[in-house]
Amino acid sequence: MAFTERFINTYKKLIPSPFTIALLLTFITVIIALIFTKPNKISTGAYFMEIAGYWEKGLWNKSDGGIYFAFQMMFMLVFGHIIALSTPVYNLINKLLKPCTNTANTVFIVTFSTILVSYLNWGLGLIFGAILARQIGEKFNREKRPLNYSMIGAAAYVGLMVWHGGLSGSAPIKAAESGNLKNLVENVNGIDLTQIPERLDLSETLFSNLNIFITISLLICLPGIMYLIGKRTKPTSNLPSKIISPPSDNATHTGLEKLDQIQFFNKLIGALFIGYAIYKAFILPDEINLKFINPNFINFCLFGGAILLHDNIKQFTEAAGEAIKDATGILLQFPLYFGILGIMIHTGLINLITDSFVAIASESTLPLFNFISAALVNIFVPSGGGQWVVQGPILVSAAQELGVGYGKSIMAMAYGEQLTNMIQPFWALPLLGITGLKAKEILPYTMILFGAGLFIFTFGLLLF
């Protein structure tokens, strides 16, 4: 365990801020594109200016995988945060605090509960874990008890390593939309569109034996690993003191402003949202299936749930203000990563990475190479939906050529994307804002989770 402590202390010194990481990755992507994709007939300076144009084009990409997707993900995050700031969820978190008496059992509880909530929704899981970690830090600070708060923060981020195999996973949910697969590969040369299904049922992706096995393995192994490390780590002195609690409004309102404080009004609005969602999902269709699950439907339900769970509209809007504030880091960095994505798409760099793995793959090894290539791409473009748009056509085409199930190929990409979230702190920004921690304080521990996840994902893909 002394080795673990040395590794953690060394790793902390090597980590800059998340925004600096985004800038460094931009420069690295430009250099790699210049080296590996520059046509012989064009000068380096001229090609550099072309790459700058690709970066700008990607920066404001309005496609289904660009700004549109960014807003879908931002809404997911904000609505999940609003729900986490509601009184019922706050009370649930307080109940989870009771058995938290030391770092070991606390990190086990945080890891286990965050994985469960993140399986339902990545945004809710991220913010739930962040607020849980924050309140644990406040509790131990009040009681003057030792705690490795950095490790608790890392445990609260673990949901980003399971989310893509959960109910809000971008790639499997997008593939379940009618026509998505065919639209994705219609411009790919040599593909037989008649063999592409109209949609890929979630029984082949999220509810497959492969994903059930991996999800259960993560739920069992990751809390256990964090517990063992927590028993031997030293406490930290970075505990928070400011108390975070659901918003309250004691001001007196007159006229129609009173609607903001009438509990019945917001309950009615929230119930109408949820009622319509149930109607659309289970009553309107001729047959009940899972076609209705997509990012817009999830956001619609989260919107209604966020209104319903708060005491009144005023509390809801106050919580929304807090949620939006903690999402500013992601809002600022999303364009940078879309710029990187623009470079990788238009220079052919992303195809070069994926094709190099596909070219040496066989029927048995293709999912593993999909996994590795997705993990690599995610470091430069930490966006599950964005990766599906650019990698999906190549993966689907290769799966058809080699006779590999589309569902397994999609889940392999999903696993690679979510794994490297543990070493890419982009999605940790809201958590860092809530907990008061720095990226370099949690990444040494998430790096350990990365190693554990690498083994579990690889084993699962080889087993099934």
Q: What is the pLDDT of residues 292-333, one digit of tens each?
A: 666 688 788 889 999 999 988 888 988 888 888 777 777 777
Distance CA 460, CA 383 (A): 23
pLDDT(108) > 80: yes
Q: Which residue has the higher pLDDT, 87 or 84?
A: 87
Provide the mean pLDDT of the chain: 83
- Which of the four pLDDT bands, split at 50, 70 and 90, describes residue 263? confident
pLDDT band per the 50, 70, 90 thresholds, residue 72 = confident
- Tokens representing 124 are 């809710």
pLDDT band at residue 288, thresholds of 50, 70 and 90?
low
pLDDT at site 349 = 82
Whether the model clears a pTM of 0.95, i.e. scores above it, the answer is no
* For range 418-437, the mean pLDDT: 86
pLDDT over threshold 60, residue 64: no
Instruction: Tell me how crowded residue 157 is: count the other CB atoms within 10 A of its CB.
Output: 31
pLDDT at 378: 86
Those residues whose C-beta lies under 8 Å from the C-beta of residue 235, and which sit 6 or more positions away, are: 103, 146, 147, 148
* Phi, psi (rounded to 5 degrees) for 176: -80, -10
Contacts of 333 (CB under 8 A, 6+ apart): 18, 19, 22, 426, 429
Report residue 254's pLDDT band, with 50, 70 and 90 as the boundaries.
low
Residues of the chain above pLDDT 90, percent: 31
Mean pLDDT for 11-36 is: 81
Rg of the chain, C-alpha, whole Å: 23
